[in-house]
């Protein structure tokens, strides 16, 4: 059983639907103690980093306990950012600190298309390419340069934990992996076949 955490940041329908399409057994725990029997945990979420404050100390401890027992965890979008120490979006909210570094706002850049210079928009919304600095479990069987669906304004830094890097203004960590802890900035539940494969690769770690 995979525990899908609902802390009020966005809706879980799409993630549930994608997971059940690939045959995962999912439950949404009502209280932290429900996590005791979880074989893995997924933290989805959209919106402001402040929303992670919806997870109080009891939830954090329960999630960290699952991770401490070697069970895999996947953070999606805001869930990836929460794996880090914090975010400039909400400096008062602490991240889980499972990954080193702070999340920061994407930079306004310029993109040359057809000889014109187009200012980049923020939020970064749409399909963009994944580049793999090294082999990973999360992207097993997925081609370099595959595109996935993003929608976010803040992003995590590229560190040694990054297993996928995407560029919008500047390069950011589009996926991270350390031991049994995984995170994706994009939405695998909205990224077609590539996204479903990423979810399946995570399930294989469970």
Partner 1 sequence: MLSKRIIACLDVRNGAVVKGVHFEGLRNAGDPAELAARYNEEGIDEVVILDVTATIENRRALADTVAAVAKRIFIPLTVGGGIRSESDAAAAVDAGADKVSLNTAALTNPDLITTLAARYGSQAVIVAVDAKWEDGRAVVYVRSGQRGTQREAVEWAREAAARGAGEILLTSIDRDGTRKGFDCPLTAAVSKAVDIPVIASGGAGSLDHFSDVFIEGRADAALAASIFHFSEHSVKSLKALLRSRGIPVRL
Q: Which residues bind partner 1 (CB under 8 A)?
A: 9-11, 13-14, 17-18, 21, 46-47, 111, 113-114, 116, 118, 120-129, 147, 149, 151, 167-168, 189-193, 195-196
- Catalytic residue flag (residue 77): yes
Alpha carbon distance 150, 158 (integer Å): 17
- In the bound state with partner 1, the residue whose beta carbon lies nearer, of 121 and 178, is 121
Q: Which of 103, 152, 168, 189 is catalytic?
A: 189
Q: Which of 77, 89, 103, 168 is catalytic?
A: 77
Q: Write down the least CB distance from residue 36 to partner 1, Å.
A: 29
Distance CA 12, CA 169 (A): 29
Least distance between partner 1 and beta carbon 4 (Å): 16
Least Cβ distance, residue 118 to partner 1 (angstroms): 7
Minimum CB distance to partner 1 smaller for 64 or for 127? 127
CB 53 within 8 A of CB 8: no
Cβ of residue 193: shortest distance to partner 1, in angstroms? 8
For partner 1, which is the closer residue by CB, 92 or 114? 114
Assign 45 to helix, strand or coil: coil
Strands 73-76 and 110-113, how do they pair? unpaired
Break the chain down into helix, strand, coil percent, rounded to 5.
Answer: 25, 30, 40
DSSP string, 24-37: --EE--SSGGGGGG
Give me the helix-helix angle, 13-21 and 192-205, nearest 10°.
70
Q: State yes or no: is 189 an active-site residue.
A: yes
Residues serving a catalytic function are 77, 187, 189
């Amino acid at each position: 059983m995979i525990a899908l955490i609902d802390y009020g940041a966005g809706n879980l329908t799409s993630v549930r639907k994608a997971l059940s399409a690939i045959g995962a057994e999912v439950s949404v725990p009502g209280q932290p103690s429900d996590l005791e029997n979880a074989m893995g945990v997924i933290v989805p979420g959209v919106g402001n980093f402040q929303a992670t404050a919806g997870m109080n100390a009891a939830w954090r401890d329960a999630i960290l306990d699952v991770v401490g027992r070697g069970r895999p965890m996947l953070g999606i979008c805001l869930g990836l950012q929460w794996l880090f120490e914090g975010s400039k979006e909400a400096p008062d909210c602490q991240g889980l600190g499972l990954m080193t570094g702070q999340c920061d706002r994407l930079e306004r850049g310029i993109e040359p298309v057809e000889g014109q210079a187009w200012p980049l928009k923020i939020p970064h919304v749409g399909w963009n390419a994944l580049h793999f600095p090294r082999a990973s479990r999360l992207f097993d069987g997925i081609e370099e340069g595959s595109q996935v669906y993003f929608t976010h304004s803040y992003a995590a830094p590229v560190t040694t934990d990054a297993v996928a890097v995407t560029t919008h203004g500047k390069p950011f960590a589009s996926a991270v992996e350390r031991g049994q802890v995984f995170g994706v900035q994009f939405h695998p539940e909205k990224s077609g076949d590539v996204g479903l494969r990423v979810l399946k690769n995570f399930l294989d770690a469970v």
